[in-house]
Copies of this chain bind each other. A is one copy, B any other.
Amino acid sequence: MKIVAAKGILKANDQLATENRARFEREGIYAVNLVGSPGCGKTTLLEGVFRATDGRAAMAVIEGDLAGQVDAERMEKIGVPVVQINTDGMCHLDANMIAAARDGLAIEGPTMLFIENVGNLVCTAGFDLGEHLRLIALSVPEGDDKLIKYPVIFQRSHALVITKIDMLTHSNFSVARVREHMQRLAPQAPIFEVSALHGTGMAELADWLLARRTG
């Protein structure tokens, strides 16, 4: 049996990611790679960002899932241009899929392109998609120990959004503990506390995203 290390595959992905980024810059697209566990509220967060940006920026979304189109339908419902990628069992998106999905998006002019990755705290960490910003969502019900158990993906993110903050009262989740671990893993990364469902903290997050795009 012969085993080839994944290194070669990753190198090819990095090359494609660099090409995606160059293309996005030519087209005025600011790309955000949104990662997090299954069910941490990524799609609800995007719905909240859409409401909170309130037309100040054009938005588009690429949805990544193993199967189905549940999330893409939610985006269509609120009028956001969307392409659904079905990875057919693959545990993460890669730069090649993003290039194909971009071709499928009918957008023009400056756009914030959100790429909702497959729900996965491990495999998504290793793949640059050509994004400008990697945003990680961690939901309160998941528990405050996730940064200890899955350090790499938090380390490689530019900002952390603690979602479902309205559920704090029903849990022993400690925001202070998460802040402490994030300080160690990614000291530059701002931390947002939001409830996308209730709108809490969403204005601050939306403003930061808009500033970051033009900054």
CB–CB B1/A8 < 8 A: yes
Q: In the complex, A15 Cα to B111 Cα: how many Å?
A: 50
Interface of chain A, helix or strand or loop or mixed?
Answer: loop
- Min C-beta distance of A207 to chain B, whole Å: 27
CB–CB B122/A67 < 8 A: no
CB–CB A68/B37 < 8 A: no
- Min C-beta distance of A168 to chain B, whole Å: 12
CB–CB B4/A3 < 8 A: yes
Cβ of A2 < 8 Å from any Cβ of B? yes
Query: Which of A38, A70, A118: most chain B Cβ within 10 A?
Result: A38
- Min C-beta distance of A137 to chain B, whole Å: 12
Cβ of A91 < 8 Å from any Cβ of B? yes
Interface size class on chain A is: 35 or more
Q: In the complex, A153 Cα to B45 Cα: how many Å?
A: 25
CB–CB A89/B148 < 8 A: no
CB contacts (< 8 Å) of A149 on chain B: these are 38, 65-68, 70, 119
CB contacts (< 8 Å) of A119 on chain B: these are 37, 121, 149-150
- Whether A2 touches B1, Cβ cut-off 8 Å, given contacts A70-B148, A89-B122, A119-B149, is no
Residue of B nearest to A38 (CB): B37
Give chain A's interface residues, CB within 8 Å of chain B. 1-4, 8-9, 12, 37-40, 65-68, 70, 89-91, 118-123, 139, 141-143, 145-146, 148-152, 164, 167, 170
Across the A-B interface, give the 6 residue pairs with the lowest CB-CB distance, nearest first: A39-B142, A141-B141, A91-B122, A68-B148, A37-B38, A4-B4
